[in-house]
Amino acid sequence: MREKWSCHKWHYLRIGLVVLLAVFVLFDLWGGRVKDPGAEHVVEQVTKAAGMEGMTPAEARMVKRFYGLNPGDYESVVLYAPADNMDAKELLIVKVKDSTQREEVEDAIAQRLDTQLKSFEGYGAEQTALLEAHVLKSKGNYVVYIVHEHAQEAGAAFEKCFL
């Protein structure tokens, strides 16, 4: 014999499905967000790990010259530039206003890296090695580019900012 579903059984089934859907939506919304640690904290942690604390960030015109980016278009831009043309060490941290700007920043970094690799090709073995071991990471609204002997440590410090 087939038992008919009563109104009460359908009611409980609907409630269960609604609760399940609500839980799914909440986890989806909660899990998709990346913690925003604040630009000052990110800069502090990354420069500390790279051994650059105490150094002075470059002026905005250097960002434009090296990367072709206008710092005013972004929420925050910090560049630690090489001391002279024979040094490849640099650190760029950009906080974009929205995720659509991230690709633009990453493309500018790729062009800068290519230019630097060509500049040191053939005579700057140490500098070329640093450039080849660079770290480029994106997380949330941040993009970080590090050319330094402590690039891996600085990249790890960047990642820890979001935990």
- Read off the pLDDT band of 158 (50, 70, 90): very high
* Domain ranges, ordered by start, for the chain: 1-33, 39-160
Mean pLDDT across 142-157: 96
Per residue in 106-123, pLDDT (tens digit) is 999 999 999 999 999 888
pLDDT at 1 over 70: no
- Read off the pLDDT band of 128 (50, 70, 90): very high
Distance CA 148, CA 133 (A): 8
| Helix residue ranges per DSSP H, 84-124 | 102-120
> Which residues are CB-neighbours of 162 under 8 A, at least 6 positions away?
34, 35, 37, 139, 140
Number of other residues whose CB lies within 10 A of the CB of residue 45: 18
Per residue in 41-92, pLDDT (tens digit) is 999 999 999 988 667 899 999 999 999 999 999 999 999 998 788 889 999 9
| The predicted structure's pLDDT at residue 23 | 64
Of 3-7, 37-41, 100-104, 154-158, minimum mean pLDDT range? 3-7
